Amino acid sequence: MTAISAARAHLAQGPAQDDVFLSDVLEGLSRPDKSLPCKYFYDAEGSALFDAICTLDEYYPTRTETALLQARADEIAGLAGRGATLVELGSGSSVKVRILLDALDAPAMYVPVDISRDHLIAAAARLAGDYPAVTVVPVAADYVRGFALPRGAAPERTMAFFPGSTIGNFRPAEAMTFLDTLGRRLGAGARLLIGVDLRKDPAVLEAAYDDARGVTAAFNMNLLARINRELDGTFDLDRFAHMARYDTARGRIEMHLRSLDDQTAHVAGHPIRFARGETIHTENSYKYSVSGFRRLAARAGWRTERSWTDENRLFSLHWMVRHG
């Protein structure tokens, strides 16, 4: 905390997460089709593994979105205007946002919002040291459940940044609800820069979520390891396997953990039974067309003013304004 304070940053506390982790896990694993919320991937170990995923040859989204941000940074800065407050949802290591901070005209405040508190504080401290003119206000919160913006964040100067195509983790109806709620929270006139992955060859998608080195498999498996560490779980990780598949009809990648045997694991003393081949559904990642996503955002109260794609149409960025 000392490093952040010295750099004139402040820690804002979002809603407590520990009290809901156990109930979310037990609820998800009690369903006939077992599932776990993907937000729980991101403890310190999971966040580090995701950072490693972003460097993989197969994982095109990070390098493609980064190149798009670099190519369009000056245009984005012009749209944002002087003295912007930049709010990043799911900030992680706060790497891509540096491209924007370098381009923006005298940004006043950076508000990284992330569920992984320790990872958030470390990343915020590094960024605050590198950008001493920017007030850094890290918010430890689940941005889906809600968070409070710091004082001084006027809607017309606020720019939300939601990179990485994390919007794809929501089902389309949930994505629309989330975007509407976000717009109401930020206020009329707020701006949103959002990354959206595009539909493409299923082989390219499946390789991105099941890499040859097994880093994504370790990331998926860490969810069970986290339950073991934090919720007195008894999962035997050697008796589960990572699985990623593309559902063409729904336009989404699904990640699962597949049980290799008939077995019983415990979570905080509660038995969870698995049949051989049964899976835990851990993540969806929906893919969109540019026009399809623009229509969804419009129904959620956002007007798209700019859309950009790379030359291979792998990924897209959208600049949107809240109109209500």
Instruction: Please indicate whether residue 116 or residue 50 has the higher confidence score (pLDDT).
Output: 50
Instruction: Please indicate whether residue 153 or residue 158 has the higher confidence score (pLDDT).
Output: 158
Mean pLDDT value of segment 185-201: 96
Residues 6+ apart with CB under 8 A from 11: 1, 4, 121, 137, 138, 140
H helix intervals, 147-300: 172-186, 202-208, 215-230, 290-299
75 inside domain: yes
212 inside domain: no
What's the confidence (pLDDT) of residue 1? 35
Mean pLDDT value of segment 51-78: 97
Instruction: Please indicate whether residue 115 or residue 229 has the higher confidence score (pLDDT).
Output: 229
What's the confidence (pLDDT) of residue 18? 56
208 inside domain: no
- For the whole model, what pTM was predicted? 0.89
Q: What is the average pLDDT value for the chain, to the nearest integer?
A: 92
If one counts every other C-beta atom within 10 angstroms of the C-beta of residue 245, the result is 15
Question: Residue 149: which of 241, 83, 87, 100 has the closest Cα?
Answer: 87
Give the chain's domain count. 1
Residue that the structure tokens 């006939």 belong to: 32
Cα–Cα distance, 20 to 87 (Å, whole number): 25
Residue 72: give the domain boundaries.
Answer: 2-15+55-200+287-322
Residue 12 to residues 80, 112, 113, 159, 299, Cα–Cα distance (Å): 24, 10, 9, 19, 32
119 inside domain: yes
185 inside domain: yes
pLDDT over 70, % of the chain = 93
pLDDT tens sequence across 253-280? 999 999 999 999 999 999 999 999 999 9
pLDDT tens sequence across 80-94? 999 999 999 999 888
What's the confidence (pLDDT) of residue 20? 86
